[in-house]
A and B are shown apart, each in its own frame.
Chain A
Amino acid sequence: MATETHSAEVASAPGMPQLDFSTWGNQIFWLVLALIAIYLILSRVALPRIGAVLAERSGTITNDLAAAEDLKAKAVEAEAAYEKALVDARAEASNIVESAKAEIKADLDVAIAKADAEIAAKAAESEKAISEIRASALENVKVVAKDTAKEIVAALGGKADAKTITAAVTARMKG
């Protein structure tokens, strides 16, 4: 017991176990092995793999950015096409409106002209009818006046021949 304690005390007595050179060979041997192991792990497996992953990621990001740029360009293009289509459609619409207007106007003009012609025809017809009526009325007046004159002459005791009365009435009516 006492000796064990003594030896433990001796072991820790020099102060720094770091300066106990009897363990250096052992530590250096195992350290070299550990470093070789880490080096092999890193250079054979870990570093190439992580490097590949990082490269792949930056590649993916670059591709995605390029794709995004592409899509953006396409969107701009699509917007331009849309704008153009809109302008075209507006122009076409105004064209259609113009042509429709012109067509309607032409139709309207034709219809108006036709109506005018009809009205003129009707007016002429009416005028003709009126003049006929007027003429027939004059004729009637003449007949009535002859008859009346004949009757009046007869009533006054005269006997007038038809020719004289007609001439007299005609002269009167002119005058």
Chain B
Amino acid sequence: MATETHGAEEGGLVFHPMDQFIVKPFLGEGSDVAWYTVTNATVWMFLAVIATFLLLVLGSSKRSVIPSRMQSVAELAYGFVYKMVEDICGKEGVKYFPYIMTLFMFIVCSNFLGLLPTSFTPTSHFAVTVVLAFAVFITVTVLGFVKNGAAFLGLFWVSSAPLALRPVLAIIELISYFVRPVSHSIRLAGNVMAGHAVIKVFAGFAALTLVSPVAILGITAMYGLEVLVSFIQAYVFTILTCVYLKDALHPSH
């Protein structure tokens, strides 16, 4: 009550574009979130799991040679990621395909489910994307040293450059290597969060009768853009994962 009056006093517009990202307990009062609490984030993460299950498991349950629509989509997703892994990482990369497919399916399902009105998007949270990015970073680093030993350090030693430049390049390569998880995670969360926040801002403007047609048009346009972004960001995250994995498998430039 008080907030509403307060907002009205400020000129009739109520902007809370970031409130949609608040993590709060699902079903239940209070805002205390312990590590085990089932929150809205939890619910939407598991809806992504269920969506993955429905698409890939139920969709392919008939195992028909001539696929149904659902099975076509499942095969398309499989082929899309499989081809990406194979093209970038080569034949040795294929055994990491299930891990990469897991990342891709989780991100793409979370992103698309997050486009539903009143939903929550787990991938808009740095907590989620940082874990994903660091999982990739640590895996790639450990795998690089296990597979290649000290030769993995050759990744930073650009042997095709003039000798004098190599130490400088090594420092740059080292920095870029450690920036990877940061850019990897912020890119995904930032894109998703920004789109959702902009839609919310347009929605705030829609309360004003005068500009509401423009605002609704804006929401529609942004929504279309967000559909693209949802897929493209999942794709970008996956393809970068493949590129990093390739570095671990073949560290030479």
- Which residues does A use to contact B, with CB under 8 Å? 1-2, 5, 7-9, 11-12, 15-20, 22-32, 34-35, 37-39, 41-43, 45-47, 49-54, 56-57, 60
B125's nearest neighbour on chain A, judged by CB, is A18
Is the C-beta of B36 less than 8 angstroms from some C-beta in chain A?
yes
Please give, as numbers and ranges, the residues of chain A lying within 8 Å of B48 by CB-CB distance: 34, 38
Q: In the assembled complex, how far is the CB of residue A50 from the closest CB belonging to chain B, in whole angstroms?
A: 5
A23's nearest neighbour on chain B, judged by CB, is B23
0/1 string, B2-27, CB within 8 A of A gives 1: 11000000000000101101110000
C-alpha spacing A83/B131, complex, angstroms: 74
CB contact list, B60-93 vs A, under 8 A:
60, 63-65, 67, 71, 74-75, 78-79
| Count of chain B residues near A, Cβ 8 A | 54
Q: In the assembled complex, how far is the CB of residue B81 from the closest CB belonging to chain A, in whole angstroms?
A: 10
At the interface, is chain B mostly helix, strand, loop or mixed? helix
Is the C-beta of B139 less than 8 angstroms from some C-beta in chain A?
no
Contact pick for A54, options B2, B53, B75, B106, CB 8 Å: B75
Please give, as numbers and ranges, the residues of chain B lying within 8 Å of A9 by CB-CB distance: 3
A41 touching B45 in the complex, CB below 8 Å, given contacts A31-B131, A54-B78: no
Please give, as numbers and ranges, the residues of chain A lying within 8 Å of B230 by CB-CB distance: none
Please give, as numbers and ranges, the residues of chain A lying within 8 Å of B178 by CB-CB distance: none
Q: Which of B97-105, B151-159, B205-213, B244-252 contacts A (4 or more CB under 8 A)?
A: B97-105
Q: Is the Cβ of B16 less than 8 Å from the Cβ of A41?
A: no
Please give, as numbers and ranges, the residues of chain B lying within 8 Å of A49 by CB-CB distance: 57, 60, 63
Q: Can you name 15 extra interface pairs (CB under 8 A) apart from A2-B2, A20-B22, A42-B52?
A: A11-B31, A12-B22, A15-B18, A24-B127, A27-B125, A28-B131, A30-B46, A31-B128, A34-B45, A38-B52, A39-B99, A46-B56, A47-B101, A53-B60, A53-B67
Contact pick for B57, options A15, A26, A31, A46, CB 8 Å: A46
Is the C-beta of B234 less than 8 angstroms from some C-beta in chain A?
no
Please give, as numbers and ranges, the residues of chain B lying within 8 Å of A60 by CB-CB distance: 65
Q: Is the Cβ of B131 less than 8 Å from the Cβ of A17?
A: no
Query: How many contacts between A and B, using CB within 8 angstroms?
Result: 143
Q: Is the Cβ of A18 less than 8 Å from the Cβ of B31?
A: no
Q: Is the Cβ of B45 less than 8 Å from the Cβ of A12?
A: no
Contact pick for A26, options B35, B52, B71, B99, CB 8 Å: B35
Please give, as numbers and ranges, the residues of chain A lying within 8 Å of B101 by CB-CB distance: 42, 47
Q: In the assembled complex, how far is the CB of residue A19 from the closest CB belonging to chain B, in whole angstroms?
A: 7
B53's nearest neighbour on chain A, judged by CB, is A41
Q: Is the Cβ of A12 less than 8 Å from the Cβ of B16?
A: yes
B31's nearest neighbour on chain A, judged by CB, is A11
A31 touching B122 in the complex, CB below 8 Å, given contacts A18-B127, A23-B33, A53-B60: yes
Q: In the assembled complex, how far is the CB of residue A132 from the closest CB belonging to chain B, in whole angstroms?
A: 107
Is the C-beta of B37 less than 8 angstroms from some C-beta in chain A?
yes
A9's nearest neighbour on chain B, judged by CB, is B3
Is the C-beta of B1 less than 8 angstroms from some C-beta in chain A?
yes
B197's nearest neighbour on chain A, judged by CB, is A16
B77's nearest neighbour on chain A, judged by CB, is A50
A51 touching B3 in the complex, CB below 8 Å, given contacts A23-B127, A37-B49: no
Q: In the assembled complex, how far is the CB of residue B248 from the closest CB belonging to chain A, in whole angstroms?
A: 19
Q: Is the Cβ of B1 less than 8 Å from the Cβ of A5?
A: yes
Please give, as numbers and ranges, the residues of chain B lying within 8 Å of A43 by CB-CB distance: 98
Please give, as numbers and ranges, the residues of chain A lying within 8 Å of B35 by CB-CB distance: 25-26, 29
